[in-house]
Structure formats: C-alpha cells, structure tokens
Chains A and B, each alone.
Chain A
Amino acid sequence: MKKILIIGATSAIAEATARLWAAKNHRLYLLARNQERLQTIASDLQLRGAESVQYSLLEANDFGQHESAIDTAITLLDGIDIVLIAHGSLSDQKACEQDFNQTLKELNTNAISVISLLTHLANRFESQGQGTIAVIGSVAGDRGRQSNYVYGTAKGAVAIFLQGLRNRLHRSGVKVLTIKPGFVDTPMTAGFKKGLLWTTPETLAKRIYKAVEKDNAEIYVPFFWFFIMTAIRAIPTSLFNRTNI
C-alpha cells in the first residue's frame, strides 16, 4: 500500500492516474483548488477501492501555503511514497505576447509554483531516503516554438530543474520522474482540433503508473514523441525559423 500525494488532482491526467492507484487500494491525498470537483473525485476514488482519500484546497500560485499544505498532507498520509504534480494551464500565446502580466501569470502557474512545491518536497523526500517525485512536463519544453513558447519556457524550466534535482537526490535513493506528454485530449486542449498524434488521459495514466513503478527518468508519452522531438531539436535554427509549427 503506497501513500500518494497528488497536486492538481482535478486535472484530467491526474484523475485518470488516481483511478489506477485507487484500484490498487493505495492511500491518497489530493490537493486542488475547486472544492466541488475535488469532493466528487474523492468519493469516486474511495468507491474505486482507495484505502482512504483525503483532500484539501490549495491555490497553486499561493506560494506561502505550499510548505504547510505539504506537511499536512504527509502527516495525514502518515508518510509519503509518491507525489504527482499535475496542475497547470495552457497559456494564450498571443495574449502573452501583448501583456507581460499574462506571461508572468503563466510562468508562475506552470514553473514557479512547481519549483516552490518541489523545493519543499525534495527536502522531505531526501530526509526519508526513498520515494518518487513525478511531474507532468510537456514536449513543448524541448524547444521553443513560435506557437507556444511561453508555455514551452515554463515546461522547459521545470524539466531542467528536475534534471538537477534528479542528480542531487540520486544519492538519497529518491527517484525523480519527468513525464513529457505530446498532445492530450483534456479540458485544457478542448479548443483544439484532434488528430492522429493525440492521446487520452487514460493512456497517459497507464504509462505514468508503470513509469512510477520502474526507475524511469524522463519519459515521452506516447513513445513516438521521443523520435519527433529528437528530430525537432535537430533542425538547424536557420531552417527552424522558417517553420510555423
């Protein structure tokens, strides 16, 4: 039985993953900001078999609350084995280009708040000498592109932070997992036309569940994104500048 903290628990990917953990009777603690949906999800997970489900409200950009929220969670879970950080928002790139306040908001939500949480979590995991920290990143963080570079910046920053963290926590036996999905059909991407490259939260959840069990570092989901992003990163700047992807 594992003790699992999920931050951003009302996100589609987090919920799908939580359902898999609930089916294995793990103990869950959920943090999110929407009380109504959190309550519904908590009851659902309980019915699906979770040993217990507790939750608390947290606004990700309320950095001052992070440490106490984490400590409360760990106390109520009576320890911690896994944390999944899944909250985020998709920036309106065009709006961000015109208004730095928008950009700042996006960077706070997708990068700074994550880094703040990781700072506290890293110390707790390090002192206990075991466990897995998993964070949902994005292929967008692999290379900045004109269509979403504010989002890409945030996700890229987090990925680099996690590389350093992975390095630091290696000697404590703590695993750090960066999950890089491509296009996922969730409420966040509701406005996009879906195509062949798109996947579902359920597919992602199965992959995350497996990756947390194993010793993975950075994973692309589905795996074909590894090849796509390797190619994209390899395109010379002069050529890349002419693209519109």
Chain B
Amino acid sequence: MTTVIHGWGRYPRCNAEVFLPRSFRECMECVAAPGTLITRGLGRSYGDSAIAARVLASRFLDHFLGFDPPTGLLHCSAGVPLAEVLRVFVPRGWFLAVTPGTQFVTVGGAIASDVHGKNHHRDGTFCQHVQSLTLLTGNGTQLVASATENAELFYATCGGMGLTGIILSAVIQLKPIQSSDMIETTLKTSCLDALLEAFEESADSSYSVAWIDCLATGKNLGRSLLVLGEHAEDGGFRLQSGRNVAVPLEMPASPLNYTSVKLFNTLYYGKVRGARKPHRIPFETFFYPLDQISHWNRLYGRRGFVQYQAVLPKRGGSTVLKKMLQRISASGKASFLAVLKVFGAANKNHLSFPLEGYTLALDFKVEPEIFALLDELDQVVLDYGGRLYLAKDARMHEATFKACFPRWEEFEEVRAKYNAIGKFASNQSRRLGLQ
C-alpha cells in the first residue's frame, strides 16, 4: 500500500510503500525482497530518518517478551512504544532509565536514535541501558548484539538510525522508583551566563532542562526558566487518565509567527515570579508536557517545521551559545520551543549525538529564508567542534555530517560487514552521502 509519509515536522513528505509485518518471520520476507527499506516506528523523528520509498512499519511488532522482576530487565519487541512500557510498569514501581521528551517513540526508535533525556549528565543515553538487542541483518540472519557479543555491530546499531538492519527486540534495564510523582523546582535566570552558572550549581539534580526565550535581546539574551526534577520518594503509583487536547486539523496558515511567539515567551517567562519552591507533579507533566497536546505539530501549518538541535562542547560554552542566540534573534525567525540541556560525556556508539557540553534545540516554521540561517548555524557548530542530532535533522548537508561525525567511515565498514549496504537506507542516509 502506497501512502504519503513524513516525519514529525511534516517536512519533507514523500510517497512510500509501507509494509506491516506481524511477526519476525514476515520481517525476514520483507528483507529478502529486492530493494532497500527503512524501519519506521511511531514517526517521531522530525525529518526524513524514517522515510524512504519502501518502509517497514513496526506497528504490529509490539509485544512484551519477558520481564525479570528482581532485576528490572525487560525483553520486548522493538515496536513497543515507551508509553506502553510506562503504562504497564510504572504501576509496578519501574521507570525508564532514560526517556526522551515524548513517550510516543518505540523501543527500536529510541535505540536507533540513541535518544537522551533531561538526565544525560548523570545517566547517559537510552542505549547505555540496553543490555542487548536482536537485529535482523540484510542477509536475513538474526544476530544478538551487545557490548560483549558482536560489539561493533551493537555500537553501530545504537544511534545507527536503522541503517544496520531491523531491530527486532531488545533487553532494556528499567530503574526502580518509589513513586510515580516527580518533585519539580523552577528557577528563573535573567540571562545566559546566569543560566549556565545555575546549571553548574544544580549538577547534582537528577533531571534538569532549561527553556530559553530565544527572542530576548541585549542584556536579556538567553533569559530562561531552569527546571529541575527528582523522583518523589513516596506517594504511590498513578497514571494520568490521558484526557488530551488535540489539534484536529493542519492549520492552513500557522498561528505561530514572530509576534505571537514573542508574546507567548514574555507571558510564559513572566508567569514565574521568582524561584519556585519544589512542588509535586505527575511524571507525565514533568517528562511529557507536549504529549498532552495531540498533533501539536499541526500548529506549524501546511509547510511544516524543522527542528534544529546541536551540541556544543563545553569549552566554547557561553560564547558560542550567545553567538547562536544573537544570530537567531537577528533573523526575526521565531523558534517557539527553545530548550537547553547539559550533556555528560559521549559514549562508544559510532553516530551517537551527545558529547560533553550544551545542547540547544529549536524549531522553525518552514520558510525559504530559514535554510540559509540554518546553514550559518551549522558553520558555527562546526567551527566550535559540535554536531547536529540526526533524529531532528531534515536538511543538513553531506559535508557537514561527515565533518561532525568523523566515525562515519567506521560506521560504513560495519554496515558493509553485516550486509546492510544495498538493503537499508532512508532519504536522510542518502542525503548525508551514506551508501
């Protein structure tokens, strides 16, 4: 069946033939057929990472395969959404060791993008809590990969954007919790330097994230709200009922423009009067605020939007971030959501995104002018030794990618060794010059 598919940014879009295997055996039949394909989970990557002419959707490969209560090790098919893991295991006192900002990604997707959360500085990425995975390779073999078995394949698959094969299942380490609630504290910082200092002071916090008003200028440049979080030590286990607000239709013209965003940012920043005392909130509110608005991506209108997320090494620090924020502010192109986090050390995965430093995530409505702006930002990132996040990318150039990710050649070697070349490819991988 051919249908139009796109990423979360709703840009770009393409026609795809979508396969919906119902078992691992049917996956093998898909791989055996001629042509390349890419696996697709819940389609939350923003660009064209899960877009190709032939797509294997993991929708029906969503089963729990085993759970070990004493250790919290969960074996599940790669199509299981993180939301389901939480729904079943939070009431039993378990949480994800690392979770991205949405629960609507699959375990396979979380591995393929090697997602990170608000606790990277302490706990690393999602794959650092994956004990092993089972991969279906290009010649139809199922291989188990881990740090101790087929290790190079493991490090290539973790963060490998589905390009090494089809992740069929994985064993992930859940973490025990005493309550489903979170204790959240919000600090207001008046400028970027103050924010970075506040991050340093809060290094012991389990979770931290800053929302930046990226339209503020001058002495207010980088004014932000820093949100810190801890798991509550008591209070029971509860799931929110999931009454969502939904954006029912794609907006023909987006209501988000410079003026509306500036107004929103001013009001949002102003809402927090001063340092907010710690208060208790449900975990869904702390970790997944946007999930409560279904289809929020439709607010960006017909042309969609691009997410831009980069990480900058710590040594450049404040200078580089200021440079980027000034450039964005000067462009008049508003980013509705601007988020800053602190990352800890990089891991061993070939194409993993985080490295020790600051990561800034922004989104922009798709307009012809923004591509030049993003190319400029790319140059700043490259000059300071940073890199971009593939799960968010929809427009990075091949040269930029290869400069940011010097291990790409090693990655291609592993792919060649395990029969992935000519079997697994996405529109993104082709754009970035991978085979």
CB <8 Å contact, A48 and B20: no
A190 interfacial contact with B, CB 8 Å: yes
Query: Which of A40, A48, A49 contacts B23, CB < 8 Å?
Result: A40
> What's the minimum C-beta distance from A242 to chain B, rounded to whole angstroms?
30
Residues of chain B lying within 8 A (CB to CB) of residue A192: 1
Complex CA distance for A44 and B22, rounded to whole angstroms: 14
Closest Cβ of chain B to A15, distance in Å, is 9
Any B CB within 8 A of the CB of A41:
yes
Cα-based distance from A36 to B20 in the complex (angstroms): 17
CB contacts (< 8 Å) of B65 on chain A: these are 40, 43-44, 47
CB of B88 closer than 8 Å to a CB of A: yes
Residue in chain A with minimal CB distance to B87 = A23
Residue among A12, A23, A47 with the highest chain B CB neighbour number at 10 A? A47
Closest Cβ–Cβ distance, residue B33 to chain A (whole Å): 16
Q: CB of A236 within 8 A of chain B?
A: no
- Identify A40's interface contact among B1, B20, B63, B88, CB under 8 A: B63
**Interface SS of A by simple majority:** helix
Residues on the B chain within 8 Å of A233, using CB = none
Q: Mark A32-69, 1 if CB is under 8 A from B, else 0.
A: 00001100110110011100000000000000000000
Interface flags, B1-22, vs A, CB<8A=1, else 0: 1010000000000000000101
* Residue in B23, B60, B64, B88 whose beta carbon sits within 8 Å of that of A36 in the complex: B23
Q: Which of A187, A191, A192 has the most CB of B within 10 A?
A: A187
Cβ contact of A187, chosen from B60, B63, B67, cutoff 8 A: B60
Question: What are the residues of chain A within 8 A of B25 when measuring CB–CB?
Answer: 36
Whole-angstrom distance between the Cβ of B22 and the nearest chain A Cβ:
6
Cβ of B66 < 8 Å from any Cβ of A? yes
Residues of A within 8 A of B67 (CB): 47
Give B172 Cβ to nearest chain A Cβ, in Å: 14
Q: Give the A-B pair count, Cβ closer than 8 A.
A: 34
Residues of A within 8 A of B23 (CB): 36-37, 40
Q: Which of A155-199 contact B (CB under 8 A)?
A: 187, 190-193
On whether the beta carbons of A43 and B64 are closer than 8 Å, the reply is yes
Contact of B64 among A37, A44, A187 (CB under 8 A): A44
Whether B20 and A190, one on each chain, are in contact in the complex, defined by CB atoms closer than 8 angstroms, is yes
- Closest Cβ neighbor of A23 among chain B residues: B88
* Contact residue among A12, A23, A43 (Cβ-Cβ distance under 8 Å from B66): A43
**Provided the pairs A36-B23, A37-B22, A190-B1 are in contact, do residues A12 and B64 lie with their beta carbons within 8 angstroms?**
no
Alpha-carbon gap, A191 to B22, bound state (A)? 15
Contact partners of A37 in chain B: CB under 8 A: 22-23
14 contacts between A and B (CB under 8 A): A36-B25, A37-B23, A40-B65, A44-B63, A44-B64, A44-B65, A47-B64, A47-B66, A47-B67, A48-B64, A49-B88, A187-B20, A187-B60, A190-B20
Which A residues have a C-beta under 8 Å from some C-beta of B?
12, 23, 36-37, 40-41, 43-44, 47-49, 187, 190-193
The 9 closest A-B pairs by CB, nearest first: A44-B63, A47-B64, A44-B64, A40-B63, A191-B1, A47-B67, A37-B23, A36-B23, A48-B88
